[in-house]
Structure 1
């Protein structure tokens, strides 16, 4: 029996996602576990696999279209089915549809005549031809990408259904735009006006004497970051503790390991391991606040803040306390690379119990980080710098790293946070203790 395929909730709390492309065409067979479509969330592009065997009978949402979670995106036929009343399927799912075609219509004809009318899956096959109507038909994703790149949709040829402009058309135009602009200017002479699609136009206020500016539309990822951090800072009672960590022993051990091993270990790898060891030593710190209860985690899943072109993302090193330093290093390198390419799966950046944010490589001495909800703490790590210290009453020079712990006061009290920070400091200053 045919069934509807609905937009899944790829990321937690997501309300919509964008279909990047379909991996099968209408009428093509697919097996359970095979990729049916690529779906873009605010942080990554995910392969959506079929959960059963069948034939992709009808696509209800075109590539490039933004669809609400739970809205129908396709119909999966059973192998050998020839008569499918898609209107009845949609009606049974509570989706308003047009009256069904006359009895006896074939499955393909019914599929062509029927489309979902919800906000998320809005009749991709029923748009009039763009050239005939004079309107520009483009998917929401294509419009956003065109805005971000300063491109005019009017100059593009759509390759989607009925001339609809989709993501690949915008990307092709973006690659061609610089060369086109340069060729046109050279051909027309120095007085030629460059094509409008290549140059963002400043606002009227800029032309009237104020500082020039260009508005860059927010990406979905940037909006998500803004929303989550605003909610965190406004709703979580933060408090902060700082400590100076002597790094001389750790740097010496790191140099020894890197000289003997084939894999280079970073200071950040040691920090993640030390955070996990401190959470094992002070397990009451490995918690998060919920309205119903204090949630205590059984293992240290450490989120590591990674800066990408689109914004900050926090892939998770699962059970960092049970992994070797080299295993943590390999995992962080792999997660960071895939985070920057947008290839992380949701389970790889969701569900950590504690976050590490390290800006030391940028020369930042110290900073305070905003808690990554629903976690209860985040450690902000600064640069390791040479500083004067007193050792046995004598002035000396040491390598010192300042860290600042941001804590959710609903879940953790000051004394407990101070106990955890002291444990972390001991692990950093005596790194072998964290490795044993």
Structure 2
């Protein structure tokens, strides 16, 4: 069996334990090169494209879209044509892999997503809005038309369909993992707004009524698609083309045949008809957050220090930079990231990680700042590495890029794992003050509230000044009260004298 190799679920980061296959980008029988994109995998933190670790021919798909496999589990089998199916079966048995369920009557799992069941009293049906007819019998309401101005978490097929129909995906609620938008979500949104989606049955009937008689031997198609088309007497000219590199794929042939059966993907919300609530399964990200923060709260003895910062000078500096430097738009959060980085270098004993297993403290020379970013299914903490060495413009640009890719689910593992200190900012949501739980193995996290006008004593007189409340949570195993207070004192000095960050 030396000629048989397996495509396995990769380990993207130390905390990754499993991954969910969302889509295959190649078909059985396809040849592929090393580093070629072969499939999409979702983890508890990200959705990413897997590149082949070696070249070969995909002989068998062991995992199907929607299936969750542990790290190191078999996704597919790679072997030359000389290797028999019996040898592949023996290899899978040796690996302890059960024979996969037949999928010849299936379509991609992305079409299985169903909208959440709502239990509130039925609202009156919305009045139909003007719609725009598009190719393929679609009628898209005006309310959904337009280009999205931000990166959105959607399946590749949903992105392609939205581009074809000029649909703004920010107006389409997603029902997939972490709010991912699927083709089914687009169809549901169009119907909800009084529009019309293409009828698969009508398309099938039309194809049956006037099947193409052209020679389809030159039509680009995957080996599986061509074999199924010949088996069922389907002309490849009558199939849509959605496969990679402009080829007809198996799903296209299945649609032309009118197969609507779909594999079971992730668990759908269930409803108890006797109670006015809905039961939602926890996704992988939510489970990971629950486990890590529960362990942090249980194992790390938290203590908290609170302080108020005057923001008047910081806001003035921000306004001056944004007005005088073309192409740069600094936020208050960017300035606070930079201030924390410099304060950590000044007070390095707070810039630490704690290894509980080895009973060791790792103190870092540079400040790698983790910033909490809210996602539909939880949160993630992308990291600005060596923030103390970066300019404000570099911090701002990197933060924007990280936040955008975090919300799109395309961060690389090294971009959100590690870090020496965390920031959680809820000020933009109007929260005045809150306490945050430490992100292990880090030793501290800063919770930032909203900047607001308050009457305070300034130079011996009452004055209205912009103030901000912060809360520093520290792990008492490695950071004592006086040390945490020293850090807050240095941070306050930088925030209230922001020009110090420029020298």
Instruction: List gaps (5 residues or longer) in structure 1.
Output: 97-115, 118-122, 131-136, 152-166, 185-199, 207-211
1:260 equivalenced with 2:236 (yes/no) = no
- 1:403 maps to 470
Alpha-carbon distance in structure 2 between the residues aligned to 1:180 and 1:390: 59
- 2:421 maps to 354
Provide closer, same or farther for how the CA distance between residues 150 and 235 of structure 1 changes in structure 2, counting only shifts above 3 A: same
- Report the CA distance between 1:299 and its aligned residue: 1.6
1:124 equivalenced with 2:193 (yes/no) = no
- 2:38 maps to 36
1:415 equivalenced with 2:426 (yes/no) = no
CA RMSD, 1 decimal: 2.9
Task: Determine which of 241, 246, 250 is the counterpart of 2:314.
Answer: 250
Alpha-carbon distance in structure 2 between the residues aligned to 1:416 and 1:180: 59
**SS of aligned partner of 2:95:** coil
Instruction: List gaps (5 residues or longer) in structure 2.
Output: 119-175, 196-268
**SS of aligned partner of 2:278:** coil
- Report the CA distance between 1:138 and its aligned residue: 10
- Report the CA distance between 1:63 and its aligned residue: 2.2
- 1:289 maps to 354
Provide closer, same or farther for how the CA distance between residues 72 and 256 of structure 1 changes in structure 2, counting only shifts above 3 A: same
Normalised TM-score (structure 2): 0.67
- 1:149 maps to 116
The range that moved more, 382-391 or 310-319, is 382-391
Task: Determine which of 175, 186, 203 is the counterpart of 2:272.
Answer: 203
Alpha-carbon distance in structure 2 between the residues aligned to 1:48 and 1:174: 25
Contact 2:311–2:467 (CA under 8 A) maintained in structure 1: yes
- Report the CA distance between 1:83 and its aligned residue: 2.3
Alpha-carbon distance in structure 2 between the residues aligned to 1:298 and 1:124: 50
The size of the alignment, in residue pairs, is 364
Alpha-carbon distance in structure 1 between the residues aligned to 2:394 and 2:286: 31
**SS of aligned partner of 1:39:** strand
- 1:376 maps to 443
Contact 2:111–2:183 (CA under 8 A) maintained in structure 1: no
Alpha-carbon distance in structure 2 between the residues aligned to 1:239 and 1:30: 54
Provide closer, same or farther for how the CA distance between residues 282 and 345 of structure 1 changes in structure 2, counting only shifts above 3 A: same
Normalised TM-score (structure 1): 0.76
Provide closer, same or farther for how the CA distance between residues 201 and 32 of structure 1 changes in structure 2, counting only shifts above 3 A: closer
- 1:217 maps to 281
Task: Determine which of 21, 24, 28 is the counterpart of 1:22.
Answer: 24
Contact 2:65–2:108 (CA under 8 A) maintained in structure 1: no
Alpha-carbon distance in structure 1 between the residues aligned to 2:321 and 2:183: 47
Task: Determine which of 276, 287, 293 is the counterpart of 1:229.
Answer: 293
**SS of aligned partner of 1:299:** coil
1:366 equivalenced with 2:433 (yes/no) = yes
- Report the CA distance between 1:177 and its aligned residue: 3.8
1:269 equivalenced with 2:334 (yes/no) = yes
Provide closer, same or farther for how the CA distance between residues 89 and 201 of structure 1 changes in structure 2, counting only shifts above 3 A: closer
- 2:75 maps to 73
1:334 equivalenced with 2:334 (yes/no) = no
Contact 2:270–2:280 (CA under 8 A) maintained in structure 1: no
- Report the CA distance between 1:312 and its aligned residue: 1.4
Provide closer, same or farther for how the CA distance between residues 179 and 321 of structure 1 changes in structure 2, counting only shifts above 3 A: closer
Q: State the Cα deviation string for residues 319-378 of structure 1 (Å, max 9, x = none).
A: 111111011101111111111121212211111111111111122111111111121111
**SS of aligned partner of 1:62:** coil
Alpha-carbon distance in structure 2 between the residues aligned to 1:295 and 1:214: 45
Contact 2:117–2:271 (CA under 8 A) maintained in structure 1: no
Contact 1:11–1:41 (CA under 8 A) maintained in structure 2: no
Alpha-carbon distance in structure 2 between the residues aligned to 1:81 and 1:296: 54
**SS of aligned partner of 1:275:** helix
- 1:83 maps to 83
Q: State the Cα deviation string for residues 202-224 of structure 1 (Å, max 9, x = none).
A: 53443xxxxx3223332222222
- 1:319 maps to 386
Contact 1:363–1:383 (CA under 8 A) maintained in structure 2: yes
Contact 1:64–1:142 (CA under 8 A) maintained in structure 2: no
